Structure 1
Amino acid sequence: MRIGVISALYPPTAIGGAEIMAQQLVDGLRSQGLDVFVLTLQAPQAPMADEPHIHRVPLQNIYWPYERGQKSPSSLRRLIWHALDTSNPWMTQQVRRWALEKKLDIVNTHNLQGFSTGIWPGLQTLNLPIVHVLHDFSLLCPRTVLYKNGRVCGLHERRCTECRWLTAPRANHTASVSAVVGVSQFILQLHREHGLFRQAQGQVIYNALNPQKSHHQTATRSRIGPLRLGFLGRLDQAKGLDVLLAAAEILRLKGLPIQWVLAGKGPSQDIERWQMQYPLLDLQWRGHIDPDTLWPDVDALVFPSNSYEALGNVILEAAASAKASIASRHGGGVELIEEGLTGAFFEPGNPEDLAKVIWALEQDPERWQNMGLHARQKAQAFTSQRRLSQFTDLFKDVLHAHRT
C-alpha cells in the first residue's frame, strides 16, 4: 500500500497539534514498512531541502499566511486569498503531478489551507480514494475557529454570510472524499450538520499522546500554601482568558487565595489591559513554555475556551501528568473528561459558574489529587499505537471498498 499524506504544514514547519499528529501518523506507518510520501508547503522564509519521503512545494497564492508576528494583510488581500483558496487550480496541478509520480494507492489529507480542497476532485479524477482528518473548523470558517465578535457561531446552520460564501465550494468538494476522520465526535457531527461529508464513511480517532515525551512519572506538587491553577494556550478572548480572570476576581473577593499560572502567547495590548484591570490577582505570566514544565507547578488545569475546540489536546497532556481539568461545557474537550471523576465542567462564558465550580472543589482539597490520578489512568488509553492501528485499519477498509 502506497500512501500519500498531504498537510499544509509539516514539521519542522509547524504551528500546532495538527502537524504534530500528521507526523506521528507518518512515522508510525513508515515503521510498519509501508511506503508513505508526504506533500507539504515550502515556507518561503526558511526553505528546506526535500527528504526522501517528503516533498515541499511553493504556495501559489498572493501571500504566505503562516508567518507569526507579521503585519496582518488588508481585508481585501485576505478576501482574495481565501477566495482563491476555495479552489486553487495551480495547487491542484502540483498535487496531481505528485500523486502520479508516486503511484499512490490512497491519499490521506490533513489541514489544507494553501492547497485548497479543490485538490480532492483533482485526486478523484485519478481514481484515488481519499481519507480526510478534521483537525479544526477551516472547512466551515476561514478563520478556522467559528468565533467572531466575541461569540461562537456555526452551531447547527447558523454561520455568518462571509463563512457561508467563502466555504460553499468546500462543501461540494467533500463529495470526492471516501472517508472522514474526526478527532472528536463533536467536530465530525458539526461538519455533517452543515452538509459536509454526507456520503463519506465517518470515524472518530482521537489524538494520541506524544510517545517521545515522558509521562510515566506523576507530576505531583506538594500542596503547601494556596491552590495553584494553570492555563496553557493562546492568551485571548476566544480561549476564554477573560472568563478565567473574571472568575479569579470573584474568588479573590470571596476570600479564596489562588495562584494562577498563565502560559502562552497573546496580543500584548490585551495582556497589559488585563494586568491593569486585575492588579490584585496573584498572576504568573509565563509566556511560551514547554508544557511539561507547567504540570509540576499546578494542581489542576483550567480550560475556559469561549470558542469551540476540536478536541483540546492540552486536557490530554494535563491528564497524562495526573492533573484534572475544569473545562467549558462545549466542543470536543467534553469527550476527554468524566465529570466528577477526572475533572469538572462549567457553562461557557460564565465566570460566576467557573468560580462556583472551583469553590466547591476546594472545599475538599484532596479531590484535586484524586481526580488527577483518575485522569492519568484514563489518559493511558490515548496511545500512538492505538491511533496508528485505527488509521491502518481504516486505510485498508477504504482501499478494499474502493477496489471492489
Structure 2
Amino acid sequence: MKILFLNTLYAPYFGGGAEVMLQSMVEGLKRRGHEVQVLSTGPESGVQSESLNGVPVLRAGMRNLYWPFSGRRPGPLLRLAWHALDRYNRGMREVLADVLEQSEPDVVVCHNLSGWSIAVWDAIRDAGLPIVQILHDQYLICPRGMRFNKGRHCEQQCGSCALLRRSHAKASATVDVVVGVSRFQLDVLLDAGYFRDSRPHVIYNASPFAPQNDEPAVVAAHRPLRFGFIGTLAPNKGLEWLIDSFQETRCDASLLIAGRGDAEYVNALKSRADPRHVHFVGYRKAGDFFRTIDVAVVPTLSQEPFGLVALEACAHHVPVIASARGGLVEIVRDEFNGLLCEPDRPDSLRDAIQRLAQDPGLRLGLASRARASVESMLSVERMLDEYEALLRHTLLDRGVRHGSAIPVSTL
C-alpha cells in the first residue's frame, strides 16, 4: 500500500501521545514493506521535505495567523481569530491537494487535524481517495481538543465551541473509516452525531517504550514510598488536586513530579508544594521514571482520550491511581491493577493515596497484577496488525463500492 499520513505535528515535534503513536505506526508499516509518507505542519513557510529514519516527511507552513508551537502564547483575540480560520482552512486544503496530486497515495490516514482543519477531508474526497480518521482528542467538538475550561471538564459544548464546530458533524459523512484509540474516544464523537456513514473501529494504542522483559524493577530497601506523576504540567492534569491531596495525608512518602509546562504555572505549583516531600524532577524518560516510583498517579480533570501513562506504568509493574475519566477506565481496573478516584469527590484522591501508603499488601497485590492486566495492549506489532488489516479492508471495500479493481500488488 501507498499510505499518506496527515497530522498536526511529526517528530521531532511532539505535542503528546498522538505523535509517539504516529511515528511508531509509520515506521512499523514501512518495515512491513508499505510505501509511507508523512505530511505535517511546520514552522517555515512553503513545504519543506526531509527524511527521518527513512520516512519521507513533508512539513507545510501553516496558512494561518501563526504556528501555535513556537513557545509564545498569543493574546486571547489573536487565538480566537486563529481558531476561526481553523474552522475551515482553504489554504491548507490547497496544500494537501497539491501533495495528493504529486504523491498519488492509495489511502490517506488523518490523525490530529488542528492547523489543517476539516477542509482536508474535502481535498481527499476530491482526489477520489478513501479517508481513515483516527481520533486522538476531541478537536472535532472543541477547538482546544480537551473540553476543559476554567478548571473543570465541560459537560456540554459551550456556545463558542458550537459556533466554531457548526458544520463538522455533517462534514464527517465523507470519512470512510473512523478509529477511536479507546472505546470512550470513539463513543464521544458517535454520540455527538459524527461519522454516521463511517465504519467505526476501536484500536488501542500500543506502548513502544514498554519493557520487553516481564520482571518488575528491584526496589531499594529502607526508603520512603514514592508516588509519581509524569506528563505535561498543565491545569487539566489535576496537579493542584494531587499536591493538595498528597500533603493532606501526611504519610511517610514522597511525591515526584516529572514533566515540563508553562513556567508561570510550574512556579505556582512549586509555591503550593512542600519541597521536603514534593519534588519537581523535570523531564524524565518514562521507563527510567517508572523504575524509581512505587505508585503512579494520573489525576486528570479532563476526559483522557486514552491514558498512555497509565498503560506504561502497568507495563512496568507499577499500580496506578487514576481519575475515572475517559479512556483511563479501560486501562485501570479499580482494586485490580490500581484505584480509581473521582474529581467531583476531591477527598477520593487523598483516600486512595492514604490506602496505598498504609496497606502494603494491597499495593503489592495491585502491582503483581498490573503487567498482566495490560499485556494484550502493549505490543506494537498487535497495533500494526490491526491497522494493516483495516487499511487493506478499506481499500477493498472502496474498490467494491466504486466498481474499480484494486491490484493485488497494491494491497
For normalisation by structure 2, the TM-score amounts to 0.91
For residue 285 of structure 2, what is the aligned residue in structure 1?
290
Unaligned runs of 5+ in 2: 401-411
CA contact (8 A) 1:118 1:170 kept: no
- SS, match of residue 285 in structure 1: strand
Contact 1:250 1:352 in 2 (8 A): no
| Whole-angstrom distance in 1 between the partners of 2:89 and 2:246 | 47
TM-aligned CA deviation for residue 73 of structure 1 = 1.3
Segment drifting more, 297-306 vs 213-222: 213-222
After TM superposition, list the pairs within 5 Å mapping 1:294-333 onto structure 2: 294-333=289-328
Q: Which residue of 1 aligns with 2:125?
A: 124
Equivalent position of 2:144 in the other structure: 143
Distance 2:349 2:13 in 1: 36
- Cα distance in 2 for partners of 1:227, 1:191 equals 40
Deviation at 1:360, TM superposition (A): 2.5
For 1:171, the equivalent position in structure 2 comes to: 169
The 2-side partners of 1:269 and 1:65 are apart by: 18
Q: Any idea what SS the aligned residue of 2:395 has?
A: helix
Pairs within 5 Å for 1:154-193? 155=155, 158-193=156-191
Counterpart check, 1:84 vs 2:85: yes
Query: Corresponding residue for 2:407?
Result: none
Q: Return the alpha-carbon distance in structure 1 between the equivalents of residues 13 and 223 of structure 2.
A: 41
Per-residue deviation, residues 269-318 of structure 1 (Å, max 9, x unmatched): 44444444443761111112212221122101011111111111111111
Which residues of 2 match residues 180-259 of structure 1 at below 5 A?
180-210=178-208, 214-216=211-213, 217-252=215-250, 256-259=251-254
Where does residue 383 of structure 1 map in the other structure? 379
- Give CA deviations for 1:246-266 in whole Å, capped at 9, x if unaligned: 2112211xxx22210111123
- After superposing on structure 2, the runs of 4+ consecutive aligned residues of structure 1 that deviate more than 3 Å are 267-281
The answer (yes or no) to whether the contact 1:227–1:299 under 8 Å persists in 2 is yes
Secondary structure of the residue that 1:297 maps to in structure 2? coil
- Which amino acid is 1:73 matched to? P
Instruction: Provide the identity percentage.
Output: 32
Aligned to 1:380, the other structure's residue is in SS state: helix
Q: What is the rounded CA distance, in whole Å, between the counterparts of 2:275 and 2:229 in structure 1?
A: 18
Structure 2 CA distance for partners of 1:48 and 1:319, relative to 1, 3 Å: farther
Partner of 1:99: 100
Match of 1:368 in 2: 363
Q: 1:58 aligns with which of 55, 61, 77?
A: 61
Decide which moves more: 353-362 or 217-226. 217-226
Determine the C-alpha separation between the residues in 2 that align with 1:172 and 1:241. 37
- My pick for the range that moved more, 235-244 or 381-390, is 235-244
Report if the CA contact (8 A) 1:4-1:39 is conserved: yes
Q: Secondary structure at the match of 1:14?
A: coil
8 A Cα contact 1:299 1:369, kept in partner:
no
Contact 2:228 2:256 in 1 (8 A): yes
Does residue 37 of structure 2 align to residue 34 of structure 1? no
Question: Is contact 2:253–2:357 with CA below 8 Å preserved after alignment?
Answer: no
Relative distance call for 1:280 and 1:261 in structure 2 (3 A) is closer
2:367 is paired with a residue whose SS is helix
Deviation at 1:5, TM superposition (A): 0.9
Q: Which residue of 1 aligns with 2:4?
A: 4
Moved more, 378-387 or 263-272: 263-272
Aligned residue number for residue 391 of structure 2: 395
- TM-align CA RMSD: 2.1
Does the 8 A contact of 2:137 with 2:145 survive in 1?
yes
